[in-house]
Structure 1
Amino acid sequence: MFTQYTIANFKLENRSVRSATATGTCEVTSGIPEQQFYNLYESLARGHPGLIIQEHSFVSIRGNAGPKHLGIHSDDMIKFHKKANDLMRAANSSIRICCQLAHAGPNGIATDKIDVNTATISDLEEVVQQFLEAAVRAKQKTF
């Protein structure tokens, strides 16, 4: 449990993993983290897990699963994720961080959510593009 572990080229300090869990510590609709979010993740990093999988990060406002969830739906969000990552790395320099990209589809809270039963090819292509753009954002924050 407390020995180094490697998955492909992904080296972990140990086998302890903090799984993605919605914390409800972000602004109600924008997904911008509140101070409580930063405090929590910094504290988690101080416990020295090998990996933290950051919570559900919606790739589109239409894909937000619930109020106070974390967003990664625009380039404006990069600075908030970077701040969290910097705090975690300051608390634990060997920590590995992953971002859980998500889209709630028909289970989202948006009034114009995507219903998979009536979605067009264009709707689905848009969601694929949103995941791609969110993945690029996640990488820019040095995950």
Structure 2
Amino acid sequence: MAEKRLHWPAWVWIVGSLFAAGGFIVVTIVKISHGIEGDTDVIWLDVFKAFGLRCFNILILIASAVTMLIKRKIGWIFALVTLAFTLVYRSVSWIWWLFRGEIEAETTGQLLFLLIVVVLTFGIPIAWLIYFIRARKRYCPSKSNPVISPYL
């Protein structure tokens, strides 16, 4: 029975995924309601594309958290898919913003802030990805590869 318990990083992933999904829901509602309130310059195709991407991200975060609770191996796979989607989406977004000239840093403070944002934007998912790849034995135990201790 002790082998079925999740260790603390998995719980951090579950709670963090649910909080992130809730945050995405709130941001999506606010953005759409802002567009509905009479902003005539709103490009609705962009709003619906962003809404679709956010809905996909919300669903995959919730699926990752729930499957981690139900079946450890499937949750591990969903976590990898979530992180891969997040990194690809953020990379494409940053490249798009750079080419459109929306990202500017004219002072040292702005450059430092931009550097911190980039490190957090890519560093956190990469750290989680490294963790899940290194901990694959814990999430995908087999007879030749048993879980040694669920509390490490």
TM-score by length of 1: 0.29
Q: Which has the higher helix share?
A: 2
Q: Which has the larger radius of gyration?
A: 2
More RCO (CA 8 Å, sep 6+): 2
Q: Which has the higher strand share?
A: 1
